[in-house]
Amino acid sequence: MVMSVRPLVAGNWKMNGSRSALKELSAMAEGYDAGLKAKVDLMICPPAPLVFLAAAAAIGTRIAIGGQDCHTEASGAFTGEVSAEMLADSGAGAVIVGHSERRQYFKESDALVAAKAAAAIRAGLAAIVCVGETREEREAGKALSVVGRQVARSVPEDATPETIIVAYEPVWAIGTGLTPTAADVAEVHALIRKKLVSRHGKQAAGIRILYGGSVKPANAKELMAVENVDGALVGGASLKAADFLAIAAAYR
């Protein structure tokens, strides 16, 4: 829709990857040639223990590194947690918040997700705010109302194209090989855009809205061509450089 939005293909490694997986990051950097750099931003979000190493490995490659979650506080007695400030200090430029796996398994509410996004902004990170309906919600005809509510409640008031990225990830499409039709993706992304613009003003036309859920080299081109789709949040297919680069190549 908005010509000036530079697309982003981001990889979410989830709880996968070890230090040896950083060779995939190096291979991604090698394949991220001038042609791709001209068209699309790339980001990899490894597990927290790898963020520092990945960020060091990514220096000079123009591949950004992100975290997968953060706490709302900058520091304190929260054993096991990682703050947005720590991610920033480790070299991350962004952090995913409100992924459906966190909403589902760790019972994260929209309010908590909004607070985490605000923490990310406070730390100077961009927040990738995830939203998406479950299969039951889609079958009940509630996809738009659920996503609309999540966007309204999880995206902080002061969202700008620099600080917020929204990722639409239908829960039923994650890791299943299933994807919505292009028309369904277009409908949800249009709704997200409308909500963002009505709440955050005209500049919200520049907020990137990513699609996520079973994005593969074979379907990337079709999904990335959908109006208001400004890139992808890739899970399984981001673990291998060849797959991830083939997805990014949708923008060549």
Nearer to ligand 13P, 121 or 233 (CB): 233
23 is in an annotated binding site: no
214 is in an annotated binding site: yes
Contact residues for 140 (Cβ-Cβ < 8 A; gap 6+) = none
Q: Smallest Cα–Cα separation from 212: which of 156, 155, 130, 154?
A: 130
Beta bridge partners of 231: 8
SS3 content of the chain, % helix, strand, coil (to 5): 45, 15, 35
Q: For residue 250, state whether it binds ligand 13P (rule: CB under 6 A).
A: no
Helix axis angle, 241-248 to 22-31, nearest 10°: 40
Stretch that binds ligand 13P, among 26-34, 157-165, 180-188, 232-240 (CB under 6 A): 232-240
Site for ligand 13P in 133-192 (CB under 6 A): 169, 174-175
3-state SS, residue 43: strand
> Hey, what are 146's tokens?
């659920």
Q: Judged by CB under 6 A, which stretch of 23-31, 148-156, 188-196, 231-239 contacts ligand 13P?
A: 231-239
Which range touches ligand 13P (CB under 6 A), out of 77-85, 148-156, 181-189, 212-220? 212-220
Asked if 215 is part of the footprint of ligand 13P (rule: CB under 6 A), the reply reads: yes
Among 137, 212, 243, 248, binds ligand 13P (CB under 6 A): 212
Binding residues for substrate are 12-14, 175, 214, 235-236
